[in-house]
Structure 1
Amino acid sequence: MLDDAHAFSSFSVDDVDTAERFYADVLGLDVERTPMGLWLRPGRPGGEGGTPATDVFVYPKGDAHRPASFTVLNLAVDDLEGVVAWLTRRGVTFERYEGIPADDDGIARGGDQGPDIAWFTDPAGNVVALLRR
């Protein structure tokens, strides 16, 4: 019954206007505003070519919003260092987590243990990850 369902993820924010500016203007993602919230459409025109699009819905929760305690969005990119540098110039601060060594740019080098990855938070406090594709 559900094998042909369109699946997508979603997460909440406290302020949809602020989220829209961040995801569209800072991250440069394709964002569609609807009466219920925002559709993030990474991998669409303006994004990296050849990447299948996965829709993500961002919905307002106002004062009831609590930032997720886990990564809500993973963005896989070819040029991790370039994207980290670009976002740093745009005011994004990369997180550092105890027990996970990171270089001066905030990139945790996975080596044999996993991908190279860098984390940051959106204005609502939700964790977003950039990782090498």
Structure 2
Amino acid sequence: MLGDSKAFSGFAVDDVERARTFYTDVLGLDVSVDAEMGFIRLALAGGGSVMIYPKSDFTPATYTVLNFPVPDVTATVRALAGRGVQFTRYDGFGQDEDGIARGPQGPAIAWFSDPAGNIMSVIETADDANAS
């Protein structure tokens, strides 16, 4: 029934302008602003998008809200760190000096947060999911 729907995801932040600056200037994403509605939209590879909206009683989720598949997680982590992104360390994941978890449970992955505290990841893929 919904197989042809152009679904999109969304999550909240406490400050839309601060989020816009981070997603544009730090992550290098294409961000559009809907000033009338008060939200921003991230344009993603493959035609997808994510809506980010303000919420006055915002509390960040305790789980990953957005994953970025990349072909080389080490290069991506180092490039983002060079732009000021700090990577989160979690107990039990055996992360390396760059904050990347590598192990038998899955692909190489590193987590970081946006200025509102929403958890994101860069996750290594065998094929570049951004090319599809």
Task: Note whether the superposition's TM-score is higher than 0.5.
Answer: yes
Q: Which residue of 2 aligns with 1:130?
A: 122
In the other structure, the counterpart of 1:74 is 67
> For 2:108, which of 81, 92, 116 is the aligned residue?
116
1:14-25 to 2 correspondences below 5 Å: 14-25=14-25
Aligned with 1:61 (options 55, 64, 70): 55
> CA separation in 1, counterparts of 2:5 and 2:99?
37
Q: Which has the higher strand share?
A: 2
Distance in 1 (alpha carbons) for counterparts of 2:3 and 2:94: 41
Say which of 28, 38, 51 aligns to 2:40.
Answer: 38
Q: Distance in 1 between matches of 2:3 and 2:72?
A: 34
Greater than 3 Å deviation, 4+ residue runs: none
- 2:107 is paired with a residue whose SS is coil
CA distance in 1 between counterparts of 2:123 and 2:48 reads: 16
Which consecutive unaligned segments of at least 5 residues does structure 2 have? 126-132
Aligned-pair Cα RMSD in Å: 1.1
Give, as a single letter, the amino acid of the residue that structure 2 aligns with 1:130. Answer: V
Q: Deviations over 1:38-72 (max 9, x none)?
A: 111122xxxxxxxx23211100113x110011101
The DSSP-based 3-state class of the residue aligned with 1:86 is helix
TM-fit CA distance, 1:13: 0.1
| Structure-1 residue corresponding to 2:98 | 105
Equivalent residues, number: 123
User: Which amino acid is 1:93 matched to?
Assistant: Q
Matched, 1:13 2:13: yes
Alignment of 1:79-94 (within 5 A): 79-94=72-87
Q: Residue 48 of structure 1 aligns with which residue?
A: none
| % identical equivalent positions | 51
Deviation at 1:88, TM superposition (A): 0.5
| CA distance, structure 1, for counterparts of residue 94 and residue 101 of structure 2 | 6
